[in-house]
Chains A and B, each alone.
Chain A
Amino acid sequence: MNWWCFAQPGTAWTWQWQPLMGVWLVMVLLIWVYHRVLSRIDDSYESSRLRKSRRAAFALAIFLLWASLDWPLGPLGASYLASVHMVQFLAVGIAAPALLLLALPGAAYEPLRRYPRLTKALSDLTHPVSAFFIFNIMMTATHWPGVVDLLMPTQLGSFVLDAAWMLGGLIFWWPLIVPVPERPGFHSLGKIAYLALNAFLIRPPFAMMIFSASPIYAIYELAPPPAQDALNDQQLAGAVMKIGLAWIMFAGVLVIFRNWMLLESDRPESA
């Protein structure tokens, strides 16, 4: 029994169900933590509709994480298809972190203010400029061929990569979603620029996946069926990464723009 999905070079794919207990444990832990946090705060100031939306966001995050990490997508992405691995990245590293942060009401983050040093560290870490660089360095490093080929063949290494994705995603979305620490200077226009820049940025792994004449990841090049043409699959992975990321960023832009317009329309007109 395996705890986490990992690359198993030379192992033929089988449709036999494989339990990945570590994935289930992480899901249970996240659900438990979420309910503990909600039970300790008073979110009655939020409308019923908003509370339901947050719970739906959490449920969707859990579903995305479980679907992308558990069998069959987990082993498929870890061992056979780079394109599936990229779908996992979008789910674990981009979509789920945003949903998890959205799932908590503002009051859930207020206890952080009781710890000035923690708040200061968070402030530095999640400053939009530092968050931008941390996220992109994480994204580049966790998709670097040498890193992927080194870490994916072990359960611990594969878990570390997934955890790095999640952490990078949380840091990336933090300045956009979380009210602690406050960033009064980070206006809606700045947030839109932050997301747009990340949508258009050409990162080295994307360039390597698309333009390399040979497969860059040994684990996928040497994967038995269902892997077929490793180079085509790799190029598809690059496209999934670029287009999928862009779509998620633009979705964020739309939400911010909508909220900005609503805010502006609520503002009383000056005499």
Chain B
Amino acid sequence: MSYQIKPLLKLHSLACASVLISSLSSCGIPADGDSVGELRGTVMEVPILKPDLVLTDTEGNFYDLRAETDGYLSLVFFGYTNCPDVCPVHMATLAGVFDELAPEVRDAMKVIFVSTDPERDTPDRLRQWLGAYHPSFLGLRGEVEAINAALAEMKLPGIAVVPGEHGSEPIIGHPSAVLAFGRDGLARVRYPFGVRRADWINDLPLLLGENS
């Protein structure tokens, strides 16, 4: 005996539902539902001036943060290589975006990782760790006091060393947001943990378009 017709007719609604679900995948709505064309980072009420900080890069050369990044969009993050969560996620997200950017966007920006754990983040360690994400990411080290002074100047939380439990490695407290310093040296937008690739792809051209 052939299949009953009634179940097939009842399935009409199921078929419509499946078509609807299928069509949603191609409707062009961004996966996270955020609007396209507006900044997705957190816009700060009071912009932050890029700190006057001279640090050391992984080659041992002095690096004047203001002078070396003048005219560039600088994405500055304070973290450490033994960080279990926030730091690797931020770097991985930025790395995933970097090579997708248009050359003119990529060439106009710098990603700078300032170590908050200079004792363990040796130049070699820093270079290897950042290099695993993207070869262009720049690692800087300096005295904790100087970095803390710069963080205080920017009204950001300072470096806090939390001893590890049961002899484990210490945890280093540090700001968890990436600061986007525009070409004019002012950071108007920060990107807290949770920023996604799609957010960077949306925002980076917009950030470069401002104050250019």
Contact = CB atoms under 8 A, between A and B. Distances in A.
Interface of A: 9-12, 123-124, 127-130, 133-134, 136-137, 140-141, 144-146, 184-185, 204-205, 207-208, 212-216, 218, 221-225, 227-231
Contacts of B8: 129
Q: Which 5 A-B pairs have the closest CB atoms?
A: A12-B84, A204-B25, A224-B85, A133-B14, A214-B197
Interface stretch (B89-97, B108-116, B145-153): B89-97
Contacts of B201: 214
Contacts of B92: 227-230
B18 A124 contact: no
A227 B197 CA distance: 15
Contact of A129 (B11, B31, B84, B198): B11
8 contacts: A133-B18, A141-B21, A204-B24, A212-B31, A214-B201, A221-B196, A221-B197, A229-B96
| Contact-size category for B | 20 to 34
Contacts of A11: 85
A222 B89 contact: yes
B200 to A, nearest CB: 9
A137 B10 contact: no
B3 A129 contact: yes
Contacts of B24: 204
A224 B88 contact: yes
Contact of B1 (A144, A146, A185, A222): A185
A225 B4 CA distance: 53
Contacts, number: 95
B7 A127 contact: yes
Contact of B18 (A127, A137, A207): A137
B89 A224 contact: yes
A185 B85 contact: no
Contacts of A208: 25
Contacts of B198: 214
Given A129-B3, A224-B89, A231-B197, 20 more contacts: A10-B193, A12-B84, A127-B4, A127-B11, A130-B14, A133-B15, A133-B17, A137-B14, A137-B17, A185-B3, A204-B22, A205-B25, A208-B25, A214-B197, A215-B197, A218-B194, A222-B93, A222-B194, A225-B84, A230-B92
A213 B197 CA distance: 9
Contacts of A204: 21-22, 24-25
Nearest to A184: B1
B61 interface: no
Contacts of B212: none
Contacts of A216: 31
B35 interface: no
A140 B96 contact: no
B86 interface: yes
A222 B93 CA distance: 8
B32 interface: yes
